[in-house]
């Protein structure tokens, strides 16, 4: 086959997903005829405004929130920044007014996305104290570490729902319960509550997003990871949680996020979330069986391969699980259905990725989110991989269009390529 007509096998769904045609269909009018500014008072404005509010309602229903608790943003990164910087700015104002001298404290994890780590680092430079919770070899934080990290001055805890590189699903509902319980004690002692934020960007396509079951106060979601458009997302802000904006201007989104709304994007985001939620159960089952097949085949041919992240132990999916099932450490349900992250001894991940790309197969060397960076992954380091092992790692993430035949082809190319690379060293 020639380069032009060869099929591309895309296995990097943690980085980006193809826009679902049904999502594009609902976005289309707002890219063309329905172009009005939602703030305009005439009919074209009202039309756009209606579309935004209908989308807000769809999302609020799915996540168990009130419509006024949803703030549309430009994506996951902005949502995380708004959560962290918005909350801490508001808190700093309160502390100044009350002339509290002690330094405020944030808890997060060692394996967060840069969208969380970077704003936290900025705050750290400004004098905030930060605890980065360590993770075990599968990427889980421990609830004991969390409890021990909490201080009188703790203002915010930010724990990602699903890790983007190794697919670890943190027990967010359990963490939410712990923080809620501690907040009740704090209230009795006259201490301010700890606000709980979760970066749910990788979770939104596959997992429960109900903010009450999860007991989160702030939650970040991006459309681009759930077959929606890029450059749009939302932040859930629980009523009573006070944040400041980080973008000022015309006062859109109730003042929390100024700037003319991305109407088509917002409509697409709502549709994408709706579709993901509707098909979640069946699609998760399908992806788990494809993913388990893939790892089994790879392990059979390459027994020295290390699976990074939660083990896949082929436990049957229990039917009466509901919610708590994600707590069973070591269960296949603690790993995102579509994720495999492998360390292949003796094979440079970057070389492998490029060889596979030359043959029409797209995988990742870990995080594509640090533009083109070849730095060692802070996530693989946190789970105990050496620098060498980190550089010998690739991430394979399946998605809506992935079928078994593609995986068979991928495996045959992968094995041939590994042999080639090893022989050339
Ligand atoms: C992709 C991603 C983000 C950033 O979302 P953008 O929409 O690209 O800004 C943040 N956190 C996680 C876990 C992600 O996977």
End-to-end CA distance of the chain: 29
CA 208 to chain centre: 13
Q: What is the mean pLDDT of residues 107-126?
A: 98
Per-residue pLDDT tens digits for 266-318? 999 999 999 999 999 999 999 999 999 999 999 999 999 999 999 886 443 34
Question: 336 in ligand 1 pocket by Cβ < 6 Å?
Answer: no
Alpha carbon dihedral 70, 73, 75, 76, in 10-degree steps, equals: -50
Out of 29-33, 262-266, 326-330, 381-385, least confident range: 326-330
In sequence order, what are the beta bridge partners of 108? 132, 158
Ligand 1 centroid to Cα of residue 222, in Å, is 6
The response to whether residue 265 sits with its C-beta less than 6 Å from ligand 1 reads no
* Per-residue pLDDT reduced to its tens digit, 152-210: 999 999 999 999 999 999 999 999 999 999 999 999 999 999 999 999 999 999 999 99
Cβ pair 59, 70 in contact under 8 A? yes
- Write down the mean pLDDT value for the chain: 92
pLDDT at 324 over 50: no
Ligand 1: nearest atom to the Cα of 75: 7
Is 227 a residue of the active site?
no
Ligand 1 proximity of 115 Cβ (cutoff 6 Å): yes
Measure 81 CA to ligand 1 centroid, in angstroms: 11
Query: For residue 101, what pLDDT is reported?
Result: 79
- Indicate whether 325 pLDDT > 60: no
Residue 335 CB less than 6 A away from ligand 1: no
* pLDDT, position 312: 83
Structure tokens that stand for 221 in this block = 């979601």
Relative to the CA of 14, which ligand 1 atom is closest? 15
Q: 103 near 129, Cβ under 8 Å?
A: yes
How much of the chain, in percent, has pLDDT values that exceed 70? 92
Taking alpha carbons only, the member of 226, 227, 234, 220 closest to residue 266 is: 234
Ligand 1 centroid to residue 42 C-alpha, Å: 36
Among 14, 118, 202, say which to mutate for ligand 1: greatest number of ligand atoms within 8 Å of CB. Answer: 202
Is 233 touching ligand 1 by the criterion CB < 6 Å? yes
97-107 tens-digit pLDDT? 988 878 999 99
Q: Which atom of ligand 1 is nearest to the CA of 369?
A: 1
Q: With a cut of 60, say whether residue 89 has pLDDT above it.
A: yes
423 — pLDDT class (breaks 50, 70, 90): confident
Q: Which residue has the tokens 């997992």?
A: 207
The predicted structure's pLDDT at residue 321: 43
From ligand 1's centre to the CA of 323, what distance in Å?
24
Residue 68 has a pLDDT of: 98
**CA of 159: how far to CAs of 120, 146, 247, in Å?**
12, 10, 24
- Residue with the two structure tokens 């009202």: 46
How many A from CA of 76 to the centre of ligand 1? 5
369 pLDDT exceeds 70?
A: no
Considering only the C-alpha atoms of the chain, give the largest distance between any 2 of them, rounded to a whole number of Å.
71
Rounded Cα distance between 59 and 17, Å, is 19
φ, ψ of residue 309 in degrees (nearest 5): 100, -170
Beta-carbon contacts of 254 under 8 Å, excluding residues fewer than 6 positions away, are 68, 71
Check: CB of residue 38 under 8 Å from CB of residue 263: yes
| Cβ of residue 81 lying under 6 Å from some atom of ligand 1 | no
| 225 pocket-lining for ligand 1 (C-beta < 6 Å) | yes
Q: Which mutation among 201, 229, 338, 341 tests ligand 1's pocket best, with the greatest number of atoms within 8 A of CB?
A: 201
Mutation probe of ligand 1 site: the residue of 76, 233, 395 with most atoms within 8 A of C-beta = 76
Q: What is the DSSP letter of 335?
A: B
Kindly report the protein residue whose alpha carbon is nearest to atom 4 of ligand 1.
Answer: 76
Residue with CA closest to ligand 1 atom 10: 76
Give the position of tokens 């594509």: 368
Mutate to test the pocket of ligand 1, among 170, 222, 397 (most ligand atoms within 8 A of CB): 222
Which numbered atom of ligand 1 lies nearest the CA of 79? 9
- The Cα–Cα gap between 368 and 165 comes to 9
Point out the ligand 1 atom lying closest to the alpha carbon of residue 200.
13
More confident residue, 334 or 371: 334
88 lines ligand 1 (CB under 6 A): no
Among residues 276, 254, 258, which one has the least CA distance to residue 56? 254
Q: What is the pTM of this model?
A: 0.94
Instruction: Provide CB contacts within 8 A for 52, sequence distance 6+.
Output: 38, 72, 261, 263, 266, 267
> Can you tell me whether residue 328 is helix, strand or coil?
coil
With a 6 Å cutoff on the Cβ, whether 73 touches ligand 1 is no
């Amino acid at each position: 086959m020639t380069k032009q007509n060869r099929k591309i096998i895309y296995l990097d769904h943690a980085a980006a997903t193809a826009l679902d045609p049904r999502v594009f269909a609902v976005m289309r009018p707002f890219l063309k005829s329905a172009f009005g500014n939602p703030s305009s008072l005439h009919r074209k404005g009202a039309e756009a405004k209606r579309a935004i509010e209908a989308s807000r309602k769809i999302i609020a229903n799915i996540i168990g929130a009130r419509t006024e608790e949803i703030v549309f943003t430009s994506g996951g990164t902005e949502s995380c920044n708004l959560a962290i910087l918005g909350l801490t700015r508001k808190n700093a104002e309160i502390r100044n007014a009350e002339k509290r001298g002690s330094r405020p404290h944030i808890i997060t994890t060692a394996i967060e996305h840069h969208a969380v780590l970077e704003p936290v680092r900025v705050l750290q430079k400004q004098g905030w104290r930060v605890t980065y919770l360590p993770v075990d070899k599968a990427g889980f934080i421990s609830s004991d570490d969390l409890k021990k990290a909490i201080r009188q001055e703790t203002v915010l805890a930010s724990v990602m729902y699903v890790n983007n590189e190794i697919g670890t699903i943190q027990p967010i509902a359990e963490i939410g319960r712990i923080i809620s319980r501690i907040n009740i004690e704090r209230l009795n002692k006259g201490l301010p509550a700890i606000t709980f934020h979760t970066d749910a960007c990788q979770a939104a396509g596959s997992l429960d997003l109900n903010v009450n079951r999860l007991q989160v106060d702030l939650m970040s979601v991006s459309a681009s990871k759930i077959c929606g458009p890029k450059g749009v997302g939302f932040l859930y802000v629980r009523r009573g949680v006070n944040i400041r904006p980080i973008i000022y201007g015309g006062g859109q989104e109730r003042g929390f996020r100024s700037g003319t709304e991305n109407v088509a994007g917002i409509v697409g985001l709502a549709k994408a979330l709706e579709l993901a939620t509707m098909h979640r159960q069946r699609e998760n089952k399908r992806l788990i069986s494809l993913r388990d097949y893939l790892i089994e085949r790879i392990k059979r041919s390459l027994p020295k391969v290390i699976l990074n992240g939660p083990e896949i132990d082929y436990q049957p999916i229990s039917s009466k699980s509901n919610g708590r099932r994600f707590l069973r450490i070591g269960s296949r349900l603690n790993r995102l259905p579509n994720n495999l992250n492998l360390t292949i001894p003796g094979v440079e991940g970057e070389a492998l990725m490029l060889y596979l790309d030359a043959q029409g197969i797209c995988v990742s060397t870990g995080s594509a989110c640090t533009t083109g960076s070849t730095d060692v992954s802070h996530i693989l380091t946190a789970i105990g991989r050496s620098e060498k092992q980190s550089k010998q790692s690739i991430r394979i993430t399946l998605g809506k269009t992935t079928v078994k035949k593609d995986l068979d082809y991928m495996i045959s190319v992968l094995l041939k390529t590994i042999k080639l690379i090893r022989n050339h060293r």
